[in-house]
Structure 1
Amino acid sequence: MCALSLAYSPYRPYNTANSAARVWHHDLLQATCFVANGVTITDENLKHTSIWIRITHHEGQLWLPGIRLRPDHLTQATTVLPTCSQ
C-alpha cells in the first residue's frame, strides 16, 4: 500500500520538512484552487509540473502536487478550479 504526501506549501522544497499529511487510495479530497508556479516536481517517470492543487483535509488546507493527478484530470482541474490568491 502506498500513500501520497501532502505539503504545507507549494513554494517550499517537497521533502520531509514540508510533508504535512498522507492520503491513501480512495481518500476523498476536496480541491479548492490551484497554483501553476509552485516548486517543480519530477515523478518516477521523469515527467514534471509546477502545478499544485490546494485541498481541504482534516488537518486543514494542504497541497497536492499536480504530478500525482492523471494528465487528463490535471487539465480538467486547472480548467474548473480558480487560481489561488497568493
Structure 2
Amino acid sequence: MNKELHPANYRFVVFKDMSNGYSFLTRSTAPSKETVKWEDGNEYPLIKLEISNMSHPFFTGQNVLVDTAGRIDKFKKKYAKKA
C-alpha cells in the first residue's frame, strides 16, 4: 500500500446542510475560507453542503417528485386519448 496516497493534514471541520441547517463535526482536509463557532466553544472551518443524510430523500424516506415544465401533464394528455 502506498504511504503517500492519503493526505496527512486532517483537521476538525464543521459541515452544514444549507437546506435544513443540520451541522456535524468531523475530520477533513477540505479547504474553507469560512469559520463557525461550534457547541464546544471552539471555532472550526465551515463547509456548506447542498444536501446531507438529514435532507436526502433516500435517508429521510420522503420521495420528492420534481415536475419541470409540466412533463407529466404533457405525457398524460398525449396518451389519454389512446387508452
Provide the TM-score with structure 1 as the length reference: 0.26
Q: Which has the higher contact order (CA 8 A, sep 6+)?
A: 1
Provide the TM-score with structure 2 as the length reference: 0.27
**Structure with the greater alpha carbon radius of gyration:** 2
